[in-house]
């Protein structure tokens, strides 16, 4: 597999292979020297056409722990501002000799388009409302790390499903592994034909909490507020935020997850953030581990394909 | 069954897997022969190091792990004391990522290697490249007093200046031949390419 564009490319086997490899990289990250020469001599370009701190630094940390060289490209300070096309930009970067390109783009499908132009491996770092596969993989790893099995696991995803690439990839990943997914959101924040995603739908968070093993909160995107999809952020918090009262209704063994960055007081109350069921920092730690596994397997597989042909 | 061939994780999406099958021709060592060889190697380790002080064993994933545990048991039985056994997967220290077909295993070295005598254990010593990678991996964990190498079978064809300290069996081979090693015995044979793309270990 030369590229990683969506969870669907991986299937259950691919997800399990990445989890298996990630266990090894978790151990590497515990070593006195948390660095191995596995990708020495490889160059990885991160092309972020949209703002991101955590995904970008996570990939960068992962690449450096594998001894790869990292080339940074950010759209805001590049020739994209001078009107260079996406294709020209990608071909320019590739001409410098890169083995993998990590792409974050506001347009759905941009990484796939780039993968058709580039010989290098393309890894989707989040595209539009479409997909964010490495986020899903780190979420799967975080749940798996707690010793949970996915078969029949009840996962509730709460918030702006419509505009969320994290939701789309996570629904696909959790579903592929056999979990039961419930989407909790006001009707205005659900995409049309939501049933086609294979998940249950609810508009009532309180009714769902007691039967939830993993509560996955999505970031409420302020930039959507001008579209009047919810009356106000305060109103959203009252209906769909994880308050102290709601946290009490959640089983004691449940996990609370959030892809970050968190809006305190909107999707989660500040007093719940320190709850022992919250796994937000584990998610960040696991992000590096899982991205090491992705880079190692994708680049190893691409190299094997090249040497075979 | 402690057969390294069969314990390989499947690699469907990323690895190409091993598309060959081992065809045995001659049995080189029986199960009893292997047990006797390991016992002799254990005595040699104790003799060379004047006892078991500061001795730790590290098995190379995957074939070396059962060898390390068996040697550890043999050492413990002779000296009547426990010996620590770890495992190392050298995949991340290899220089040939493109030919790494299998998924890595977790390295487990739950003890300090600094100032220890580390006995690296493997099933077959061939080109020496895995051992070279394992030396790098182990020295990332600390600074051992010495690193020594124990292998059940040395089949020759070294590509690096690496030599074993303890050998179960010297087995001259041609490059085309293949050796299958487990605690149950050592066989010499060939590898044949599978036609239908299924891999050994797939059911």
Residues A215 and A243 both lie in one domain: yes
Interchain CB distance below 8 Å, A24 and B101: no
Does residue B196 carry a pLDDT above 60? no
Instruction: Please state the domain count of chain A.
Output: 2
Interchain CB distance below 8 Å, B103 and A21: yes
Interchain CB distance below 8 Å, A304 and B108: no
**Containing domain of residue A159, as a range?**
147-278
Residues A271 and A300 both lie in one domain: no
Cα B4 from chain centre: 9
Residues A96 and A160 both lie in one domain: no
Which three-class secondary structure state does DSSP give residue B79?
helix
**Do the Cβ atoms of B154 and B164 come closer than 8 Å?**
yes
Which three-class secondary structure state does DSSP give residue B117?
strand
Q: Catalytic: A182?
A: no
CATH number for the domain harbouring residue A208: 3.40.50.1370
**Which whole number is the average pLDDT over A272-296?**
97
A31 vs B contacts (CB less than 8 Å) = 140-141
Does residue B133 carry a pLDDT above 60? yes
A26 vs B contacts (CB less than 8 Å) = 106
Residues A151 and A270 both lie in one domain: yes
Does residue A290 carry a pLDDT above 60? yes
A13 vs B contacts (CB less than 8 Å) = 10, 12-13
Q: Catalytic: A132?
A: yes
The CATH architecture to which B31-171 belongs is: 3-Layer(aba) Sandwich (3.40)
Within a domain: residue A141? no
ipTM: 0.87
Tens digit of each residue's pLDDT (9 = 90 or more) over A231-269: 888 999 999 999 999 999 999 999 999 999 999 999 999
The kind and range of the H/E element at B31 are helix B31-48
pLDDT (0 to 100) of residue A230: 87
Confidence class of residue A270 from pLDDT cuts 50, 70 and 90? very high
Indicate the domain borders of chain B: 31-171
Residues A60 and A46 both lie in one domain: yes
Residues A154 and A274 both lie in one domain: yes
Within a domain: residue A140? no
Interchain CB distance below 8 Å, A17 and B99: no
- Measured CA to CA, the distance from residue A44 to residue A70 in angstroms comes to 5
Within a domain: residue A2? no
| Closest chain A residue by Cα to residue B133 | A37
Interchain CB distance below 8 Å, A32 and B105: no
Residues A55 and A104 both lie in one domain: yes
Interchain CB distance below 8 Å, B97 and A37: no
**Which whole number is the average pLDDT over B169-194?**
94
Residues A206 and A236 both lie in one domain: yes
Nearest chain B Cα distance for residue A130, angstroms: 22
Choose the closest CB to A17 out of B12, B100, B137: B12
Residues A125 and A205 both lie in one domain: no
| Closest chain A residue by Cα to residue B137 | A36
- Measured CA to CA, the distance from residue A250 to residue A215 in angstroms comes to 8
Mean pLDDT of chain A: 94
Residues A111 and A97 both lie in one domain: yes
Within a domain: residue A139? no
Residues A109 and A156 both lie in one domain: no
Choose the closest CB to A303 out of B97, B107, B108: B97
Residues A176 and A245 both lie in one domain: yes
Tens digit of each residue's pLDDT (9 = 90 or more) over A108-150: 999 999 999 999 999 999 999 999 999 999 999 999 999 999 9
SS (H, E, C) A41-97: CCEEEEEECCCCCHHHHHHHHHHHHCCCEEEEEEHHHCHHHHCCCHHHHHHHHHHCC
Tens digit of each residue's pLDDT (9 = 90 or more) over A146-173: 999 999 999 999 999 999 999 999 999 9
B134 vs A contacts (CB less than 8 Å) = none
**Which whole number is the average pLDDT over A269-279?**
96
**Which whole number is the average pLDDT over A8-36?**
95
């Amino acid at each position: 597999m030369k590229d990683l564009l969506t969870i669907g490319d991986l299937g259950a086997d691919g997800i399990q292979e990445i989890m298996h490899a990630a266990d090894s990289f978790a151990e590497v990250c515990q070593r006195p020297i948390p660095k191995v020469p596995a990708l020495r001599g490889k160059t990885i370009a991160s092309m972020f056409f949209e703002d991101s701190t955590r995904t970008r630094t996570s990939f960068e940390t992962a690449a450096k722990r594998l001894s790869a060289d990292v080339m940074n490209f950010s759209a805001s300070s590049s020739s994209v501002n001078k009107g260079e096309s996406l294709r020209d930009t990608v071909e320019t970067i590739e001409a410098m000799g890169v083995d993998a390109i990590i792409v974050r783009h506001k347009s759905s499908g941009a990484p796939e388009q780039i993968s058709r132009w580039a010989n290098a491996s393309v890894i989707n770092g989040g595209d539009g409302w479409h997909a964010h596969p490495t986020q899903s993989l780190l979420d799967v790893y975080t749940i798996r790390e707690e010793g949970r099995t996915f078969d029949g696991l009840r996962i509730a995803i709460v918030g702006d499903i419509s505009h969320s690439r994290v939701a789309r990839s996570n629904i696909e990943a959790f579903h592929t592994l056999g979990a039961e997914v419930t989407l909790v959101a006001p009707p205005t924040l659900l995409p049309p034909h939501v049933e086609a995603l294979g998940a249950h739908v609810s508009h009532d968070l309180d009714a769902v909490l007691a039967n939830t093993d993993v509560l996955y909160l999505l970031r409420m995107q302020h930039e959507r507020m001008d579209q009047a999809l919810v009356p106000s952020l305060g109103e959203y918090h009252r209906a769909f935020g994880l308050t102290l009262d709601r946290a009490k209704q959640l089983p004691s063994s449940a996990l609370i997850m959030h892809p970050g960055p968190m809006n305190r007081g909107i999707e989660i109350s500040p007093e719940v953030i320190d709850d022992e069921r919250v796994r937000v920092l584990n998610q960040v730690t696991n992000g590096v581990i899982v991205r090491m596994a992705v880079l190692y397997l994708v680049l190893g597989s691409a190299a094997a394909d090249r040497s075979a042909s | 069954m402690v057969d390294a061939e069969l314990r390989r994780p499947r690699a469907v999406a990323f690895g190409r897997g091993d598309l060959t099958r081992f065809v045995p021709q001659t049995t080189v060592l029986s199960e009893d022969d292997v047990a006797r060889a390991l016992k002799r190697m254990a005595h040699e380790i104790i003799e060379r190091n004047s006892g078991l002080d500061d001795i730790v064993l590290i098995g190379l994933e995957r074939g070396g792990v059962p060898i390390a545990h068996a040697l550890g048991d043999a050492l413990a039985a002779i000296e009547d004391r426990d010996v620590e056994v770890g495992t190392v997967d050298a995949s991340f220290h290899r220089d040939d990522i493109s030919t790494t077909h299998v998924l890595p295993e977790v390295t487990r070295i739950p003890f300090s290697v600094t100032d220890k005598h580390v006995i690296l254990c493997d099933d077959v010593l061939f080109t020496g490249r895995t051992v070279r990678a394992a030396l790098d991996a182990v020295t990332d964990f600390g600074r051992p007093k010495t690193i020594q190498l124990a292998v059940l079978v040395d089949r020759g064809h070294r590509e690096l200046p690496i030599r074993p300290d303890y050998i179960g069996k010297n087995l001259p081979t041609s490059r085309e031949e293949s050796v299958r090693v487990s605690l149950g015995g050592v066989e010499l044979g060939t590898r044949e390419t599978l036609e239908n793309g299924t891999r050994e270990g797939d059911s």
